[in-house]
Amino acid sequence: MVAITQFAPVPSRQRLTTQIVELAADTTAIRSLDWDRDRFDIEFGLRNGTTYNSFLICGDKVALVDTSHRKFEELYLQALTGLINVAEIDYLVVSHTEPDHSALIGDLLNLAPDIVIVGAKIAIQFLENMLHLPFKSLIVKSGDRLDLGQGHELEFVAAPNLHWPDTIFSYDHHTGILYTCDVFGMHYCDDHTYDKNSHLLEEDFRYYYDCLMAPNARSVLAALKRISKLDIKLIATGHGPLLKESISHWLEQYQTWSETKAKTDTFVVFFYCQDYGYSEHLAGAIAHGVNRNGVQVEVVDLQETPPQELREWVETASGLIIGMPPQSCLVAHTALSTILAAAHQKQAIGLFETGGGEDEPIYPLRNKFQGIGLTEAFPPILVKEAPQTAMDQLCDEAGTDMGQWLTRDRTQKNIQAIDLELEKALGRISSGLYLITAKKKRLPVRCWLLGSPKPVVAPSVWRSPLPKTVPSNPLCKSAIILSSTS
């Protein structure tokens, strides 16, 4: 297999190149190398740049797996058109819709409007809102297959929450290549296509996992279980080198880290039917409130999740939040029975209508959970019209109530720790005049002058750092700073 690296000048200080690599029979990678990128998604820095990997599979039908970042528009399209007439591409598989992998979909549709976009249901919905272009689509779920001919049959594996809700894997049964987009990737840019020097990649691989995958450790474990029976010869990731030399090692790392993380995290599972009513919108508003308390959220589709997985989610969750499914959905009804059978009295429960027009009645289900002994974290949320600001606020507050109930022990310990520090500080006060300042996130928010005939409280909140010296007063002995951990 021959790797051809193309270097081309771009109107930027950053060094951008593309690399074309033949991976296997009829399969080619187009890697966009972003050598100098030093930050990703704002929240974490990069030290070795990154790559955006795209893949072309040419059977009797042609499939392109993912595209590239907008900054590679010229270089990527030049590389792609050098390999194939874009009009000959039959399918574009969208592993997920994050812009660093999907930014050039509109450009491809302008060149070849007959391309069929393949993705999870929620991915297609996202693209409809992103592209504002008509396009053909094929919605797939776990277990679905797409035959490209010449032995290339793609099997799709749902991997929601990693780290977007619409993520899917694609496995080519002919070549043994598993296309995973962000999962198992790393932000590491060099000329090596594969993980040849694994010891050099360990730190970046772990850092990437901690930043993107660890918050959804249980979803990682669910995805690992779904791919465990596949004969994987190569993991074609969306970022960094492709994994070939040490596949079992990298998978074991994800398994170990995720099992450890899952044991310590408090989490809530959201059960609802995607694409029914206002499920996603309302669940997002509730989840925002839950997350505010440091509680993790996992999303499970009642229609797509096997009963065994449902039981595992329920048995390990601290809280359950259920969006009412349609009464006509028999699969969802079976799923609710599974949830009821696995739920236990140490859990909190919250229910919300989804506004789809034929919601399962909410109060009979509420009574069943109360009969088991679950604690109701918030009253049932009734939805009779399209959600407005007031409904969003109600959902956010409901999520906050759930999060506070689940973290009540931790919150009490934090309060006790704050009180202890306060007592220590006050214990150091003797007779005289003292300026006491309470700080929050390094900024003073209130000050008191103690020891005067009448305690003086500052009339307004301070918005600047403390002065270098205490205000002049011959009786003022000291300034005591009381720091809040919040």
Percent composition of the chain: helix, strand, coil (DSSP 3-state, to 5):
35, 25, 35
Asked if pLDDT for residue 366 goes beyond 90, the answer is: yes
- Spell out the SS3 assignment of 314-369: HHHCCEEEEECCECCCHHHHHHHHHHHHHCCCCCEEEEECCCCCCECCHHHHHHHH
Asked if pLDDT for residue 143 goes beyond 70, the answer is: yes
pLDDT by residue (tens digit) across 6-45?
545 444 567 999 999 999 989 999 999 999 887 766 556 7
Q: Is 30 exposed, middle or buried (0-12, 13-18, 19+ CB in 10 A)?
A: buried
Rg (CA), the chain: 27
pLDDT by residue (tens digit) across 440-463?
555 554 555 555 444 444 443 333
Please give the sequence-ordered ranges of beta strands (E in DSSP) within 25-78, or none if there are none.
27-34, 39-40, 44-45, 50-58, 62-65
Asked if pLDDT for residue 182 goes beyond 60, the answer is: yes
pLDDT by residue (tens digit) across 211-250?
889 988 988 999 999 999 999 999 999 999 999 999 999 9
CATH 3.40.50.360 range(s) for the chain read: 266-406
For the ranges 6-10, 43-47, 116-120, 288-292, the lowest mean pLDDT is seen at 6-10
Tokens at 450, concatenated: 């103690």
The CATH number fitting domain 3-262, selected from 3.60.15.10, 3.40.50.150, 3.40.50.720, 3.40.50.300? 3.60.15.10
| pLDDT category of residue 91 using cuts at 50, 70 and 90 | very high
How many Å apart are CA 136 and CA 190, to the nearest integer?
36
| pLDDT category of residue 423 using cuts at 50, 70 and 90 | low
CATH 3.60.15.10 range(s) for the chain read: 3-262
C-alpha closest to that of 108 among 149, 136, 145: 136
- Per-residue pLDDT, 179: 98
| pLDDT category of residue 485 using cuts at 50, 70 and 90 | very low
What is the topology classification, in CATH, of domain 266-406?
Rossmann fold (3.40.50)
How many Å apart are CA 311 and CA 72, to the nearest integer?
44
